[in-house]
Structure 1
C-alpha cells in the first residue's frame, strides 16, 4: 500500500486504554481537563471483545509488515482501576496473538496510588514494565496530582516506587514521568526524583497550544522560561553524576549527533503510534486531546478496520512527513533536525493554519537545544573526566547511557585533538614524494609549480570551510568527527606513534598515510560536514584509487585517472564534478549509481549504520566485507533487529550503553570454516566488526562481547588501570596463547558479558548446553580476575575496577553434571595452550 506516493509506514507503538476513568483529579490532565471530552461517552473498561480484536489486529499488522517487535502500553485513565483479572486478560490476549509473530514489549503507565505486590507479581509474570507519574517532591507533586477531595497522592506513590525498587521487582521499573511546572524548584524536583533511583525520567512540557498557551512568569520576555528550568535540571543532573537517564537530554544529544529521538516531542522520526480506546475505536496520539474536541478521532475501530487503514489515515500521515510537514519557519531553523517542530499537538492554532505552525514552545526548544549543543559539543577546553562513580558503573560490565555518553564525548575530544595535530603535521611535513609536494605548497609564498600551488590553495580552502562550519554548525562537524574511522584515518596520516605525544593513540592500518592522506581526509571531513549541515559549500577533495570518501555518508566511485573532485553541497543534496562527469545525489531522491551510501538502521531506541564503504574500516584484523548487496543488507537489518530485541529483553542492563555508544557495525567476510568472527579495533571507538553469524542470538552475543572491548578501550584512554611496564604473559582461558596484562584485562571484561549472555540463555530455555557454557565462562572469568589481582601490576584504580568486576560476576548455582562438563572443557583448553 502507498500513501501520498510513499510506501505505507507501519505502526509499531500502541496505547491500549484499559479504563477510561481515574482515581486522581490532576488539574493538568489532557484526558479530562483539555479540549477533547470524548472520554465522557466511553465505557469504563475495555471488554473481552475489544481486547481480543485489538490483539488480533496488532498481530495481523505485525505479520503483514514483518515487524520484529511491537510496543503496547496499557493506559487510561488509570489502568490499575481495570483490576488484575482484566489486565491479565489483556496480557494473555496480546501474548497469545503475537507469539511466533514478533516480540512484544508490554508496559503499563500508572499513577501508582493503588500499585501493590499482587499487581507487581502479575506484571512480573508477563514482563510488563511499569512507568510511574510523579512530579517531584511533595510540594511539587501536590500542585496538581491530588485526589478529588484535595488529599495528597505523594506518600502512596512513594510507597509504590519503593516496591518497584525491591530486587524482586526492580527489573520492571521503566521510569518516572514528570510534568514541568515553573513554580517548582528544578533542583529540588531533580533531587527528589533521583533519590528514587529510577532508570529514566521523562520531563514533559505541559500540553498547550497557541490558543491556550502555557503559563509563563511575567518577566519571561524572551519566551525561554521552560528552557531555563530544564537547563537548571540538566546542570543539577550533571553535577550529581547523572545517576539516571533523562529522556529529553538524551534525545537532544542523539539528534544533534544524527541519531533518532527517544520521544515524539523531538526529532523528525515519523509517527508510528495508534491509540485504542475502551470502546475499540482507534485514535491518534492522546496529546491531540489538548488541541480541539475530536482532534484525535479517526472514525475507525478494531472490529471493522485494519491497522493499515489506521496508518493511512490523513492525521497519522501528516505526522510522518518529516521536514516537508513543518511550517516554513521551522524548515529554516538551524536546529530543526533536533527539534522536529516540537510535539505535533503543541503546534495547533484555530485560525485556519491548524498544525502548520511552530511549537508554542518554539523559543524554549531553540534555547534548550542550542544550549545543550554548546555545552556538550563545542566546549573542547578540557576532556571529560571519568569520575569514580563512572568507573564503578562500568566495572559492572554494563554502563548507563550517561556514562557511555561521557566516553563518547572524550573520544570526540580526542578526535578533535588528532584533527588539529594532523593539520599541524601536514603543514610542516617536508615533502617525501611527488604526491606530498602539494602539502609543502600550503605555506609556500612563492612557487613555480602551479599545480602544487593550486592543491595548496584547495587544501587551505577546505580547512577554512571546516573551521567556518565548526563555528556555525558544530553539531555537523562533531557528527563527522565521531565517525569511528576518522581516528583510524588520523593515526594513519600521522604515520607514527612519535607524532602523537600524550594523546594515548596508536598507529592504525588502512590506506597509505602521510601528508597526502592528511590533505585528502581534511577535505573529506569538510565536505561531509557541509552536507550534514545543509550548507552551501564547494570543497575540492583529492581522489584516491578512484574513490571519493565522505565519512558517515558513503563513497563515490569515479572514473580512472581522476585525481580531484569538486563536491558542491546545499540543502537538497550534493553534486560531484570529477573529470568530465557530474554525479548528482539528491537528499530525498535518486542517487547516481556510482554512489554507495551508508545504510543506517533505526531500530527501537538504537541508531546504527552498516559501514561497508570506508577504506579505513579494514583495521580489525580480519578482511572487511566488500559492498553488501541490497539483499545482504536487508538480511543484516533483520538479524540486527532480532538481536537487539533479544538484548533488550534478556540483557536489558547492556542495552542503554550499546544504544549510546555503538554507532557502526562493519561487516566482515565470513570464515571459510564457518567459525564466528568478530573484532573491536582499539582506534575505532563506536564500531565493531562482525561476520554475520547464522543466528540472531549469536549476533547478540557478539555485539555485547565486542562492545565490552570498545568501552574498556575508551576507559584506558582516560584511566591507568595497570602498569604498562609489566612484560609478563598470562594464561587466558579463551585464547590459544598467553596474553600480556592489558590483553587479559580486555578479555576478562569482555567475558563478563559472555557470562551474562549464557546465564540469560540458560534462564530462557537454552538447556544443558547453555548451562555448561555459563558454568565454564563464569568459573574461567573468575580465574582470570584472580590472575589480574595476583599479577601485582594493577594500579589502585585498576584494583578497584577488577573488584567491581568480581562483584558483578553472576553466582548462580549449576548442576553437578554441568559443572563437571564445564571443568573438563576448561582443562582441555589449558592443556592445549601454546607456551
Structure 2
C-alpha cells in the first residue's frame, strides 16, 4: 500500500479557452496568467498518460472508484469527436485497472446540444451547468466578448437536460453577486429544477477584496440567508450544497465541499499541457499560486500528493490561523476556502522567516459566521416530544445491558420499535392539531383525510401502524410541525395526510374514494410508491380503492417501491425506497428512481450482505432484522469513498450507495454493504435511545477530539460516532477470521487495529467530558468494557 495520501478527485482541463468573456472568471481575469502559455486543447497523448497515471494511483491505493471532472475554459470547445475519444480513453484505461470512474463535465451551456447529450449518456457522464440566475444576474457578468448576453443559451442548456436528459443532469452552479436580487436568482435556479445546486462566493482575497457596499456588514450572509429562507419556506425542493453542508456540519457530518468544514481535500488538477496543479481557485491569489512543478509525463500522483500545497489542506484545524482556531463556528465553516484567506506579503524588507500569506481568517469571515449562526437560529427548534429520562426509559436490565454494550437482539430492538411507534402516533396527533388553519386552499382535502384516518384508526390499527412506521412519515410530520411553529407552514405538506390515508386504506383492504395531492408532478403513497402524472396534472386527483387494489397501480406512470425478500426480517424483507419525497433528509444526495438494471443489482446484493451478517455477526444480525425496514439508495460519492447515512428522525431506515465494486468487474461488494448496514443501524439504535433519555447535557456546545477525524466534534456527534464504530471494530474483528483470502484477512487485521485504537480513545474523551448523564456514563463504560474484552486480540 502506497504511503502518500491518495487523490480521489481529478479535474482535467481538456480545453483552455472559453467562448464567453465573464469578467468574474478566476481563470482568465484573476492574478494567475498561466493560461496564456497553455495549449488550447489537451492532446490524445496527455489524455492517455493522465489515464495511465490515475490507474496506477488507484491500483497503488486500492481505490474502488475515482471522480473525474472535465473542465476548462469551456470543455465543449473540444468538439464531439475529440470528446468521444477522450471519454473512451479515460474509461478504458482506468476501468481496466479495476477502478470505477465517475465522470462529470461542467459547462457554461452555450454549446450543449442533443449530440453532446447522447454522447454523455453513452459514456455515463453527468453534466453541470453554470447559471447565475435570471437575465439581469446573468448579464451582469456572463457575456460574450462582444457584450452579447448568454442567458438564453444557458436556459436552453438546462431545459435540454431537465426535460430530455434528466439522467445525466448533475445540477447548477451559481456565482453570487450581492447586487442581484437573491429571490429572483433563487427562483431562476429553482425553475431549472436541478437535482442539486450550489451558490458560490466569488473568489476574492484580502489583497483583492470582494464587492461590498458596506465593509462593516455581512452582506454576503444577508444575501444567502434570504435565499435560505425562501428555499426553506418551499420545503427545500432540491439540495443546495451551500446550506446542506452547514446543516450536515451541525450534525457532525462531513461537509462534502472544500469551501466549508475541516475535511481534508483530495483533489488535483491536470492542466491541458499535463502540468499538475492545486485547486483552481488559487489562481485568484497570485500568479503561479496553483503550480507544483510536477507533470503527468514525469511524475506519479504519489509524488505530487506530498507537495506542501496539498499538505496544507489536510490537517484540519491545525492549518488555520489562531483567530479561526478560537472561533466557535470553526467546525462548521472550516475557515472557509483557503484561497479566500490569502493576503499578499508586505513589500517592505522581508523578515528572516516570511509569514504564511494564507495564515489569516477568510476575507468572508464575518459572512461565514453570520451565515452559520443564521442557519442555526432558523433550524435549531425541534418539536420532538421527549420522555422524562430515567423514569420512563422502561428497559429491562437485559435490554439495557445489551444496548449499552453496543449490541441489541430482536427483543431489545423491538422495545425501541414500540417506543418509536408511540412517538409517531403522538406526532400524527400533533399534525392533526396543527393542520387547522395551516392548509390554505387544501383545507377541505386535509379535513377529509383526517376524518378518514380517524376511522381507519378505529378498525385497522395494523395497517395504520405499518404506514405510520414508515421512517419518512416521521420526517414529514416533524417538518409540518417545525414549519407551523416557525410560521412557515406549507399546505402541500399537510395535504400529505391524504396520501397517508390512501396508503392505509389500501393496506387495510378498505373500499374508498379519496382525493390525494399532486406534489411536484407525482402522487405519493407512503410504503407503496408513486404515480408520475406530470407538472400539468393540477393540485390533486381522486383515487379509487377496492379490495386492496387501486386504480393508480395500473396507470402508465406507476412506480412501485421494490422490496428485497428476506424472510427473517420483521416485515418479510427490506424496502428499496426511491420514491418517497421526504427521503431527502440524508446528508448525501439520494439516488433518483433506480433503473431496472440497478434495482436488480440491489436485489441481488442485499441478500448476499444479509447472509454474511446472519452467518458471522450474531450480535447484530437479529437486531437489524427486527428494526431495519428500509434502505434508501444514495448517489455515489465523487471521491469514491463508501457512502452511507442515517437520518436522525428516520428510525428504521438507512441510506447507502451501492458499493462501487457492485458495478465494477469484481461484482457486488456484499461485505462492504454488510459493514455499512452494521455501522448505520448502530446510529439508528442510539438515536432511538436518545429519543427516550438524555445521555449527555444537551446544552454543552463544546467541541471534542474525534480520533478518526481531523476536526473537533460536538458531544452528541462524538457519542454517535463512538457507538457506531464499536460495531465497525467488531465487524473487522470477526472478518480477520472469516474472510476468504489471506490478503483480505490481512486488511481486516489492519482495520481492526485502527478502529480499536480510535474507538477506545473516544470512550476516554467522552468519559472525561464532564457532560455525560449517569446513564450516559453507564453507556460509555459499557462500550469500553466491550472494547477492552478484545484487547488480547489486537
Q: What TM-score does the superposition give when structure 2 sets the normalisation length? A: 0.53
Residues 411-490 of structure 1: pairs in structure 2 closer than 5 A: 413=384, 417-418=385-386, 420-422=387-389, 425=392
1:78–1:111 Cα contact (<8 Å) kept: yes
The alignment partner of 1:261 has SS state of: coil
Q: Is the 8 Å Cα contact of residues 612 and 671 (structure 2) preserved in structure 1?
A: no
* Corresponding position: 1:9 with 2:5: yes
Secondary structure of the structure 1 residue equivalent to 2:42: coil
1:696 pairs with 2:668:
yes
User: What per-residue deviation string (whole Å, max 9, x for no partner) do you get for residues 699-734 of structure 1?
Assistant: 7999999999x99xx9xxxxxxxxxxxxxxxxxxxx
Q: How does 1:385-784 map onto structure 2 within 5 Å?
A: 413=384, 417-418=385-386, 420-422=387-389, 425=392, 502=426, 669-671=613-615, 679=625, 680-681=627-628, 685=651, 696=668
Asked if the contact 1:484–1:685 (Cα under 8 Å) also holds between the matched residues in 2, the reply is no
| RMSD value, Cα | 4.6
Q: 1:182 aligns with which of 169, 178, 182?
A: 178
Aligned to 1:150: 147
Q: Identify if the C-alpha distance between structure 1 residues 649 and 322 changes in structure 2 by more than 3 Å, giving closer, same or farther.
A: farther
Displacement of 1:363 in angstroms is: 1.0
Q: Is 1:310 aligned to residue 304 of structure 2?
A: yes
Shift, 1:502, TM fit = 2.8
Find 1:163's aligned residue among 160, 170, 184.
160
Question: 1:344-423, aligned counterparts within 5 Å?
Answer: 344-351=338-345, 352-376=355-379, 378-380=380-382, 382=383, 413=384, 417-418=385-386, 420-422=387-389
Distance 1:671 1:49 in 2: 50
CA displacement at 1:345 relative to structure 2:
0.6
Distance 1:313 1:367, change over 3 A: same
Question: In 1, Cα distance between the equivalents of 2:247 and 2:590?
Answer: 26
Could you tell me whether the CA contact under 8 Å between 2:46 and 2:274 is conserved in 1? yes
- In 2: Cα distance, 1:652 partner to 1:129 partner: 19
Structure 1 position 654, deviation (Å): 10
Q: Which aligned pairs between 1:140-289 and structure 2 lie closer than 5 A?
A: 140-167=137-164, 169-218=165-214, 220-222=215-217, 224-289=218-283
> How far did residue 42 of structure 1 move?
0.4
**Residues of 1 paired with 2:31 and 2:253: CA distance?**
34
Alignment: residue pair count: 474
Of 276, 282, 285, which aligns to 1:291?
A: 285
Aligned partners of 1:51 and 1:93 also within 8 Å: yes
Shift of 1:369: 1.1
Structure 2 equivalent of residue 80 of structure 1: 76
Q: CA deviation at 1:152?
A: 0.2
Partner Cα separation in structure 1 for residue 262 and residue 377 of structure 2: 21
User: CA–CA distance in 2 between the matches of 1:699 and 1:649?
Assistant: 25
| Partners of 1:170 and 1:184 in 2: CA distance | 28
SS at match of 2:226: helix
Contact 1:58-1:307 within 8 A present in 2 as well: yes
- Rate the CA distance shift 1:194–1:645 in 2: closer, same or farther, 3 A: closer
**In the alignment, is the contact (CA less than 8 A) between 1:271 and 1:319 conserved in 2?**
yes
Q: Is 1:128 the equivalent of 2:100?
A: no
Compared with structure 1, are the counterparts of its residues 423 and 230 closer, same or farther at alpha carbon in structure 2 (3 Å cutoff)? farther
Distance 2:420 2:194 in 1: 47
How far apart, in 2, do the equivalents of 1:291 and 1:33 lie?
A: 12
* TM-aligned CA distance change 1:52 to 1:499, over 3 Å: closer
Matched residue, 1:520: none
Distance 1:18 1:491, change over 3 A: same
Q: Conserved in 2, the CA contact under 8 Å of 1:261 and 1:267?
A: yes
Shift of 1:670: 2.3
2:327 alignment partner in structure 1: 333
SS at match of 2:388: helix
Shift of 1:48: 1.1
Q: CA deviation at 1:257?
A: 0.9
TM-score by length of 1: 0.51
Q: Deviations over 1:597-648 (max 9, x none)?
A: xxxxxxxxxxxxxxxxxxxxxx9879xxxxxxxxxxxxxxxxxxxxx99979
CA offset digits 1:312-341 (Å, max 9, x no partner)? 111011111111111111111112111111
- Structure 2 CA distance for partners of 1:178 and 1:497, relative to 1, 3 Å: closer
Q: Any idea what SS the aligned residue of 1:176 has?
A: strand
Aligned in 2, Cα 1:160/1:493: closer, same or farther, shift over 3 Å?
closer
Alignment CA distance shift 1:705-1:65 (3 Å): closer
The alpha-carbon deviation at position 649 of structure 1 amounts to 12
SS across alignment from 2:141: coil
Q: CA deviation at 1:499?
A: 11
Q: Which residue of 2 aligns with 1:89?
A: 85
In structure 2, how many angstroms separate the alpha carbons of the residues matched to 1:245 and 1:645? 8
Q: Is the 8 A contact 1:484 1:687 kept in 2?
A: no
**Structure 1 residues 311 and 498: alpha-carbon distance in aligned structure 2, compared to 1, 3 A threshold:** closer
Aligned partners of 2:209 and 2:672: how far apart in 1? 47
CA distance in 1, matches of 2:414, 2:225: 35
**Deviation sequence 1:789-827 (CA, Å, 0-9, x none):** xxxxxxxxxxxxxxxxxxxxxxxxxxxxxxxxxxxxxxx
Q: Which residue of 1 aligns with 2:107?
A: 110
3-state SS in 2 of match to 1:502: helix
Distance in 2 (CA, whole Å) between partners of 1:501 and 1:650 is 31
- Alpha-carbon deviation of 1:187? 0.7
- Deviations for 1:445-503, whole angstroms, at most 9, x for unmatched residues? xxxxxxxxxxxxxxxxxxxxxxxxxxxxxxxxxxx9xx999x98996699999999836
SS for the counterpart of 1:379 is: coil
In 1: Cα distance, 2:53 partner to 2:592 partner: 24
Q: Does the 8 Å contact 1:422/1:494 carry over to 2?
A: no
Taking a change above 3 Å as real, the CA distance of residues 82 and 373 of structure 1, as seen in their structure-2 partners, is: same
1:685–1:85 Cα change, 3 Å: same
State the partner residue of 1:322.
316
Q: Residue 50 in 1 paired to residue 52 in 2? A: no
CA distance in structure 1 between the aligned counterparts of 2:412 and 2:205, rounded to whole angstroms: 49
SS of the counterpart of 1:92?
A: helix
> Residue 314 of structure 2: SS of its match in structure 1?
coil
Aligned to 2:530: none
Structure 1 segments of 4+ aligned residues over 4 angstroms from their partners: 423-426, 487-501, 619-622, 644-655, 665-669, 681-684, 686-690, 692-695, 697-708
After TM superposition, give the deviation of residue 697 of structure 1 in Å: 5.5
**Aligned equivalents of 2:286, 2:677: Cα separation in 1:** 51
Distance in 1 between the 2:617 and 2:283 partners? 59
Which structure has the larger Rg? 1
Structure 2: state its 5+ residue gaps: 346-354, 430-567, 572-587, 603-608, 630-648, 688-794
Q: Are the structure 2 counterparts of residues 197 and 647 from structure 1 closer, same or farther at C-alpha, using a change threshold of 3 Å? A: closer
Q: Secondary structure at the match of 1:203?
A: strand
- 2:610/2:674 contact within 8 Å kept: no
Q: Secondary structure at the match of 1:368?
A: helix
Q: Distance in 1 between matches of 2:35 and 2:569?
A: 58
Deviations 1:99-134 (A, max 9, x none): 242110001110010111111111111011101011
How many Å apart are 1:256 and its aligned residue?
1.5
CA contact (8 A) 2:17 2:73 kept: yes
| CA-CA distance at 1:353 after TM superposition | 3.1
SS of aligned partner of 2:208: coil
Q: Distance in 1 between matches of 2:413 and 2:377?
A: 26
Q: Shift in Å at residue 666 of structure 1?
A: 11
